[in-house]
Amino acid sequence: MDDINIDKIHFLKANWCDITVLESEGKYALIDTGFKGSFYTIDSFLKSQGVNKLEFIFLSHFHCDHYGGALRVLENYEVDKLYTKEYKGLEKLGSSGNAEAEEYYIGERENYNAIIAKATEKSSIHYITPALQSITLGKIKLTVFIKDNNIERLYKDEESPFKGIKKFSENTNSTLLYAEFASGAAAVIAGDYVDVITGYEPVDMLNLKTAEEIGHKADIYKLPHHACGVGATEKIAGIYRPDHVVMTIGEEFMQNGHQYSDNLHNALAANPDVKFYYTAKQGYSFYMYGKGNISVRTII
């Protein structure tokens, strides 16, 4: 079963950060790169697969638990393309969820500039905008959702109640990818956007709007924001009806009574046979074969 004709999605070991590797027809791509120290996890996995080239790195948004390993990957691997939104520095809240001192945002700008400089030197940069519809890797098609620079819109749009006010987090800018595999299986790979109501409709409830636009089952659902946010409401879970739910945290954070354990209960209500995977202690590889069949293996 394990051959070049089987599409695969690998959720690497990651705790409170995201690292996803796509594989199709001998080609590889990276969706988010975890923290800075996550490079060692990425490097170990890619070396175990004999990989020395990535078709692309896709950064869902500019928080250090998603872009952290990108610079070292660019330094150590051949990377054809980098996909990222432009970082504007217009947010108020840092990756911790708290308001930060000005030094934090200066550091984020320096980190962004370093990644862009290295990508300019070794790769090609493709900015994520509404014009970007989809990306392909071998036989995998990735449709890109939540493509606007929402932070910039909230800050600059004349109709925004927050015009000229720095208030939100880069999570509000996070994309979502919908992956379609040759086997007929599908996966929703969410970043860190969580459904909120700001009073500015273009940036509100985008996970629900995306689910309604997709409109059908997703076999695999990586919950947004490490499962700590509104990601699997009754409506969203009812649309996707996932067989597999991936969370980039430890299982202990999702026990009954946790404020976001409803994500699990709603997924179970939509599909009583759903299986849950927590990447804090180990990673998981999903093999797509046959007609929508999926096999799951652990990554030690």
pLDDT of residue 105 exceeding 50, the answer is yes
Percent of the chain with pLDDT over 70: 97
Query: Residue 122 in contact with residue 103, Cβ under 8 Å?
Result: no
Q: Tokens for 154, please give them.
A: 């909230």
* 208 Rama sector, left if φ>0, alpha if ψ -120 to 50, beta otherwise: alpha
Tokens 């692309």 appear where?
56
Average pLDDT value for residue range 257-268? 82
pLDDT digits (tens, 9 = 90+) for 223-241: 999 988 777 889 999 999 9
Q: What is the DSSP letter of 39?
A: H
Q: Which two tokens stand for residue 244?
A: 């597999």
How high is the pLDDT of residue 260? Answer: 76
Secondary element (H or E) of residue 234: helix 234-240
- Across 37-57, b (16+ Cβ under 10 Å) vs e yields ebbebbbebbeeeebeebbbb
Amino acid letter, residue 58: F
The pair of structure tokens assigned to 147 is: 């493509």
In this prediction the pTM is 0.96
2 has pLDDT over 60: no
- b/e code 154-166 from CB counts within 10 Å (16+ = b): bbeeeebebeeee
Query: Binning pLDDT at 50, 70 and 90, where does residue 3 land?
Result: low
| DSSP designation for 69 | T
- Predicted pLDDT at 113: 98
DSSP labels, 186-231: EEEEE-S------S-GGGSSHHHHHHHHH-S--SEEE-GGGG-SS-
The kind and range of the H/E element at 84 are: strand 78-84
Q: What is the mean pLDDT of residues 15-38?
A: 97
Give the C-alpha separation, 32 to 16, whole Å: 12
Pair 74, 119: CB distance under 8 Å: yes
The pLDDT of residue 1 is 47
119-170: pLDDT as tens digits: 999 999 999 999 999 999 999 999 999 999 999 999 999 999 999 999 999 9
